[in-house]
A and B are shown apart, each in its own frame.
Chain A
Amino acid sequence: MTDFDKMSRRDFFTISGKAGLATVMASAVGINFGMVQVAEAAVGKGKVTPFRFAILTDAHLFSQADHKFDAMLAKAVDDVNSMSPMPDFVLYCGDIAQNGTADQLEKGKKILSKLKMPIHFIPGEHDWYLDMGAAWRGNFGAPTWSFDHKGVHFIGMNSILVKDFWTPAGLSAKERMGVMEMLESPIAGPWGVQAEQLDWLKKDVKNLSPDTPVVVFTHSPLWDYYPRWNFQTSDAPEIREILSKFERVMSFHGHVHQTLYNKIGNMGSVGTLSTSWPWPYPDIKLPYPQYQMNRSDPGNFEDGEGSQFIDLESNFTGTHHYQPFGDMLTPTMKNGFKV
């Protein structure tokens, strides 16, 4: 079974569509196996018009009515809507649902519909493995896409694809989902974007010049952070190789539920705050420990969560701002930092 469903251009606009999105998507000119493809991009050095975008991620909504995570996501939506200047759009980095059920995904879609700007989505493992992404795609469209906005080329990919472990084991869909819900599950193994998306990525960037500003979104980090918790993407080296022709690439990811920064070659990588709970840092030496947030207070349920936004300048420098619900940022991160 393929992980990509065919999808029409009209479907994509309908799913993602809000006022202003047509401008955002103006250069999306083709569809390839359900992946929105940019054929020729009018982007390059010196062509970036400064703007802001925001990132929300990892709401992990449960089916229960009035769950506290519903309120946390709604609070983050309010925070984004209150920004000045407003973000041009929002990127959602996966795990809207906790158990991948249609009602959880639809609840998330409803809460996120309160955003005043367009939003783009990529999936997380909690969204995907109950029905292999069927409900997610029905609500949010293609999991792999690219578009240009004000001189920057944006790419989104589905990084949580694993080899089939459920068929040989005779697992039900719910059992498969249960395996994937557990962060430290020893069964599924490392995940990645897999060959089909790598091929798509090669084609997507083939005609872009090296001075094109590129921003890439995945659920998991594009570097080998802590594979046991799938704080990794197994084919990240191939992704970085494909993107190595560009002068600078910015990578933003969900999944880690914590502040995090790394730089590998031409790629700056930033982890994002969830709206549900903070994951602890694994027992490894961080490449840039100054970007490790303070330990959250277990007595304050909002501590360690929040949203984030990025201000891009004309020379494609970006300032990343974490916007936590509580006070958990170290001085290095308080006023934003360059990516």
Chain B
Amino acid sequence: MKLTSKNRFNEIMGLIAPVALIGMLASNSAAAREPFTPAELKAQEKALLASVDHGRDLWHGSKPSMSSNGLACGNCHPDAAASNPQTFPKFQANLGKVIPIRDMINWCIMVPQMGEALDVNGDDMTAMEAYAFYMYRGITIEPGLATRQTGPVKVKSGPGFPKKGSGIGYDK
């Protein structure tokens, strides 16, 4: 068999990797992460929910540059309904290609809302995605399904639904 540079690389890695793995396990390497402490987990959750809350505010018009006609994401997508983050990336007919949800968010900001697009790598976009995905947590990921309307996570409703709290629709 003729050895190419690629399969020669694979051959060498095949010899080295098992040895390295055995060495790491045997030495109980300091590179392995200890389980997070309850305090660390609490801090992580707090940071996540802060981003979700910020996303909820942006979703409902807290950043004026996102709209020049008064419309906000929440006008058409209350509780992020019908935003369907679990179906992205998918082919978006009005854009003619497969896109991630951040591109759809920016399309909605620029076209129906006639606003300025968010920086796709910025904290605001992350917050928008955090809110949408949080409202769809636990729902099966099904990339590519564009025709079926799906709702967000059910939240408590009717007499007695939360009068206070974060307002992002999760019941704790």
A residues adjacent to B (C-beta < 8 A): 62, 64, 67-68, 98, 165, 182-187, 189-190, 224, 226-229, 232, 234, 277-284, 295, 297-299, 301
A283 and B158: CB pair below 8 A?
A: no
Using CB atoms, name the residue of chain A closest to B95: A299
Interface size band for B: 35 or more
Residues of B within 8 A of A232 (CB): 158
Using CB atoms, name the residue of chain B closest to A185: B167
B108 and A186: CB pair below 8 A?
A: no
B151 and A187: CB pair below 8 A?
A: no
Using CB atoms, name the residue of chain B closest to A67: B69
For window 78-95 of B, CB contacts with A under 8 Å fall at 78-79, 81-82, 93-94
Closest 7 CB pairs of A and B: A283-B151, A299-B94, A228-B157, A280-B82, A227-B158, A183-B78, A280-B81
A184 and B78: CB pair below 8 A?
A: yes
For window 124-172 of B, CB contacts with A under 8 Å fall at 147-152, 154-159, 161-165, 167, 169
Q: Mark B30-69, 1 if CB is under 8 A from A, else 0.
A: 0000000000000000000000000000001000000001
Whole-angstrom CA separation of A165 from B164 in the bound complex: 11
Using CB atoms, name the residue of chain B closest to A231: B157
Using CB atoms, name the residue of chain A closest to B93: A299
A283 and B164: CB pair below 8 A?
A: no
B159 and A281: CB pair below 8 A?
A: no
B149 and A295: CB pair below 8 A?
A: yes
**Which listed residue, B74, B76, B150, touches A283 by the CB 8 Å rule?**
B150
Evaluate whether A189 and B161 lie within 8 angstroms (CB atoms) in the complex, with A64-B70, A280-B149 already known: yes
Evaluate whether A186 and B150 lie within 8 angstroms (CB atoms) in the complex, with A227-B158, A277-B76, A280-B82 already known: no
The main secondary structure of chain A at its interface with chain B is loop
Residues of A within 8 A of B154 (CB): 283
B79 and A228: CB pair below 8 A?
A: yes
**Which listed residue, A277, A281, A282, touches B75 by the CB 8 Å rule?**
A277
Q: Can you name 12 A-B residue pairings with CB atoms under 8 Å? A: A64-B69, A98-B70, A184-B79, A184-B169, A186-B162, A187-B164, A190-B159, A224-B158, A229-B78, A280-B76, A281-B151, A295-B147
A301 and B112: CB pair below 8 A?
A: yes
Whole-angstrom CA separation of A232 from B77 in the bound complex: 19
Given contact pairs A98-B70, A183-B78, A227-B161, enumerate 14 new A-B contacts (beta carbons under 8 Å). A62-B69, A182-B74, A183-B74, A227-B157, A227-B158, A228-B161, A277-B75, A280-B151, A282-B151, A295-B82, A295-B147, A297-B94, A299-B94, A301-B112
Whole-angstrom CA separation of A64 from B67 in the bound complex: 12
Whole-angstrom CA separation of A326 from B56 in the bound complex: 30
- Report the minimal beta-carbon distance from B30 to chain A, rounded to whole angstroms: 47
Whole-angstrom CA separation of A68 from B159 in the bound complex: 36
A228 and B75: CB pair below 8 A?
A: no
- Report the minimal beta-carbon distance from A25 to chain B, rounded to whole angstroms: 36
A283 and B78: CB pair below 8 A?
A: no
A186 and B81: CB pair below 8 A?
A: no
Whole-angstrom CA separation of A229 from B82 in the bound complex: 14
